Amino acid sequence: MKYFHLLISLTLLVLGIRPTFVLAFEPVKAPKAMVVSADAHATQAGLDVLRAGGNAIDAAVTTAFTLAVTYPNAGNLGGGGFLLFRDPMNKVYALDFREKAPGSATRDMYLDANGNVIDSASTFGYRAAGVPGTVRGLWQAHQRFGSLPWEKLLQPAIHLAEKGFVLDEDHVRRLSSALPYFNRFSSSQEIFTQQGQPFREGNTLVQADLANTLKRIAREGAAEFYSGETAKRLSADVQANHGYITLDDLKAYRAVWRNPIKGTYHGYSIYSMPPPSSGGVLLVEILNTIETFPLHKLGHNNSRSMHLWIETERQAYADRSQWLGDPDFSKLPYRFLMRKSYAESVRHRMNLLTAGTSKAVFPGKPIGHESDQTTHFSVVDSAGNAVAVTYTLNGNFGCKAVAKGTGILLNNEMDDFSIKPGYPNMFGLVGSEANAIEGHKRMLSSMTPTIVLKRDSLFMALGSPGGSKIITNIAQVISNVIDFNMNIRQAIEAPRFHHQWKPDSVFLEKDRFSLDTIQALENLGYKLVFKSYMGYVQGIKIENGKRTGWADPRSNGQVAGF
């Protein structure tokens, strides 16, 4: 039957009709437990932990460390991110292991004497790196909720780093794209090139320094990364290359448990990350605003429903620019953005007949006061524990520099600050004083690991990379499931679109929308930009007590369960 539907899709393409999704396509199903990630090695390693009696947190630790080896453009030890955990009693926990600015960081550190932004200073090389949070975050999650020994959980990553793994076409493509940058750092060139030349499909990538680093972390825990031999090597190399991270910065770093964002959508409970992620706040704002429109009657991804989504997203990203940052440094009046009453005021301001303009849309006034190369994975175990983790180096392979003697790629997260008021970062996002650079401050993020409950039962765990597009990816997938009764595979594979206030353009997934829809949107007055990359959603949905999951086919991920 699946071949019949595939034949229909191919026939439609020959006729010039772009199918949005095939209704008969089914997700992977498993009765007990499931892992979905961007890499087959990592998914299998996480699943093996679950089979061995580990819980979802144990599997998440293994999956994350394995991704640092086999998915080095985004999986990491040298970056940071967010973890959402739901236990069988419906208690949801949010762990912030976002990177921090080094202590010596200053507001104008990426500006020249004339106040102009220095090209690439916040994106390339050692100066672009923030203090990493991943190892501390995984350690704190395991110390609180893990069940298997820490050292055991790192063994798959150690094995793959030490013995190597065979590179497929996607690995080679990603490594080749960064080749000119790797060749500017001897420590990166030594690992991620073949004496300055690109790897070929079928070659084996061995990362001996990273294997030794992982062995030390396995024996000694997170303290080794932040004050031991690894910390000393990392900080010394950064300092030798005019970067900002010091040993004291590493010693001072801690992940933070925060209260998760909670909203509702058509009776479902939506849990996601609070600031310094903008993800949870904007996700709830967008869903609140779109909730009262009859999307199921208007139709899926046609110009009428997309018009409503676009105007909703425009306002949400305008609000993001003004009101969000690190809550440890500023009082952020973001809760008004999540009120149903605020959503109603947004709907009243929306132009329902033609395209709005971003110059006419401003951040909402309170009462009172993000790289494409991120990765996400989701885990559900047999007891009903669920974990959604999104973590990143920010840009593809971060700042492209490996800390000498560690095998660790460093992030370029400093670009996620507002390095100059009104100046866009690599994702085109602008910010305000709330996200200005300051020593020890966490930079604003778009990462949106999310857990959805249905009548106090686990319903979905999902997330996505995609920089500024992450939030709209997750909102649209949730709507696909709830408003249009799609299974998780259909919801993830459906075409996606995005608007972020500035630039004033609608980003459409290339070759996925009908010519009629494109023409109708242009007639409404929208400027359309077609993109081949809109992020890779990795999700698990509970159906009739079974785990159903899907790895976004836009990437080379894998879902597996038992």
Residues noted as catalytic: 374
How many C-beta atoms lie closer than 10 Å to residue 5's C-beta? 14
Query: Are 463 and 293 a contacting pair, CB within 8 Å?
Result: no
Q: Are 24 and 5 in contact (CB under 8 A)?
A: yes
Question: 10 Å Cβ neighbour count for 143?
Answer: 12
DSSP-derived secondary structure for 207-239: -HHHHHHHHHHHHH-HHHHHHSHHHHHHHHHHH
Residue type, 234: L
CB of 330 within 8 A of CB of 546?
no
* Helix ranges (DSSP H) in 71-202: 134-145, 150-153, 155-163, 169-177, 179-182, 186-192
Counting every residue written for the chain, the total comes to 562
DSSP conformation class of 300: T
For 356-403, the three-class secondary structure string (H helix, E strand, C coil) is CCHHHCCCCCCCCCCCCCEEEEEEECCCCCEEEEEEECCCCCCCCCEE
Q: Other C-beta atoms within 10 Å of 339: how many?
A: 16
Q: Which of 231, 475, 437 is nearest to 325 (CA)?
A: 437
Q: How far apart are CA 156 and CA 149, in angstroms?
A: 13
Tokens of 216: 């030390």
Q: What is d(CA 295, CA 305) in angstroms, rounded to the nearest whole number?
A: 6
Q: Are 66 and 167 in contact (CB under 8 A)?
A: no
Q: Which residues contact 159 (CB under 8 A, 6 or more apart)?
A: none
CA distance from start to end of the chain: 24
466-to-36, 372, 438, 472, 542 alpha-carbon distances in Å: 17, 4, 26, 10, 25
State how far the alpha carbon of 83 is from the alpha carbons of 18, 60, 134, 196, 465, in Å.
36, 9, 10, 36, 14
Query: Residue 50: helix, strand or coil by DSSP?
Result: helix
Rounded to an integer, what distance in angstroms lies between the CA atom of residue 142 and that of residue 221? 10
Tokens linked to 152: 């055991």
Spatial separation of the C-alpha atoms in residues 225 and 22, rounded to whole Å: 47
Residue 92 pairs in a beta bridge with: 86
Measured CA to CA, the distance from residue 92 to residue 449 in angstroms comes to 12
